[in-house]
Amino acid sequence: MMFDNQALERQDLLLLRLEEPIGQSSEFQAKLAPCPNPNCNCGEAVLVIQDGNFDDKKRDLKGIFLLDLEVKQEKLRIKDVDAGFHFNPGYMQFALRNEQMFDAVKAQIRPDDWKVLRQSYYALKAKLIEEVPLEYIDADFGAESLADPSIMFLYHEVFPQARIWNVELDGKVYDLYDMYCVDDKCLCTNMNLNLVIDGKQGYTIFYDYSKSEAKTADTRTLSIEEASRVMAAIFKKYPSFNAMLHEANNRMRLIYRKFRQKNETKLFKKPTPAPQGPSGLGVPFRN
């Protein structure tokens, strides 16, 4: 195990221990920078490793190592740095040390380490998704939803790597996926919680987050008792569960409104001829 996510006080940092030193050190602090696209499901991240204490603002090449990762397929690459980096006077030294770091990590990385990297990746990605301003989010809710805005949508359809509500009870793992009414003219607080038990899908809880009222969709497959115990455990684990669902519902409605406005204007707008560049070549045109 070379990556440790428990050893440091800062939750977003990892401690990296190598068998042999690189330069003076065999212990480094590292941080993942996940792909910033809130809508994607790629698993890609840059691993920023720093000799000494990690400093988010320090961006010179001295004491920094950069690796590219794909945490789902467990792929590791040397960071392909921006062209601008090559003009930095310390670049050659950086490239040499970075290659040493890549070789060391590649030789020593184990399945446990990938697990730590994945945990860190998903935690950071979920946080990024909660914090990204709405103007950067685009989602396609499909043409059917324009005709029938009462269709419900999973939060995970828009944000495939968002947080999953989960609890463990009597040796069973319960994962809940939240699903919302996105009709931006509606103010209802009714939603569905899709329940996955031990990886098996297919249970629905109807839930009203303004009243904390839960009903099972089908009591033959999921008893009222089991659903109530799951909900009690969820409330205990996530004290602001209702407020977070409310917040997520608002976001989903705003994202849907953006989608609807964009598509309705598209339907009614007259096609504009593409502008021509001075040389007569078509200029790529985007609105």
The footprint of Zn ion (CB under 5 A) covers: 35, 37, 40, 42, 181, 186, 188
Q: Report the phi/psi class of residue 253: left, alpha or beta, with left for phi > 0 and alpha for psi in -120 to 50.
A: alpha
Minimum distance from residue 193 beta carbon to Zn ion (Å): 15
Tell the smallest beta-carbon distance from residue 249 to Zn ion (Å).
9
Of 57, 76, 93, 80, residue with least CA distance to 3: 76
Least Cβ distance, residue 94 to Zn ion (angstroms): 25
Decide: residue 130, CB within 10 A, 0-12 exposed, 13-18 middle, 19+ buried. Answer: middle
Minimal distance, residue 184 CB to Zn ion, in Å: 10
Choice between 30 and 182, CB closer to Zn ion: 182
Whichever of 36 and 52 has its CB closer to Zn ion, that residue is: 36
Contact 158, 275 (CB under 8 A): no
Nearer to Zn ion, 8 or 42 (CB): 42
- Of 158, 157, 162, nearest in space to 125 by CA: 162
Please give the radius of gyration of the chain, using alpha carbons only, rounded to the nearest integer: 24
Between CA 38 and CA 88 the distance in angstroms is 31
Nearer to Zn ion, 50 or 161 (CB): 161
Q: Provide the β-strand partners of residue 16.
A: 3, 28
Closer of 184 and 226 to Zn ion (Cβ): 184
Kindly state the smallest distance separating residue 40's Cβ from Zn ion, in Å: 4
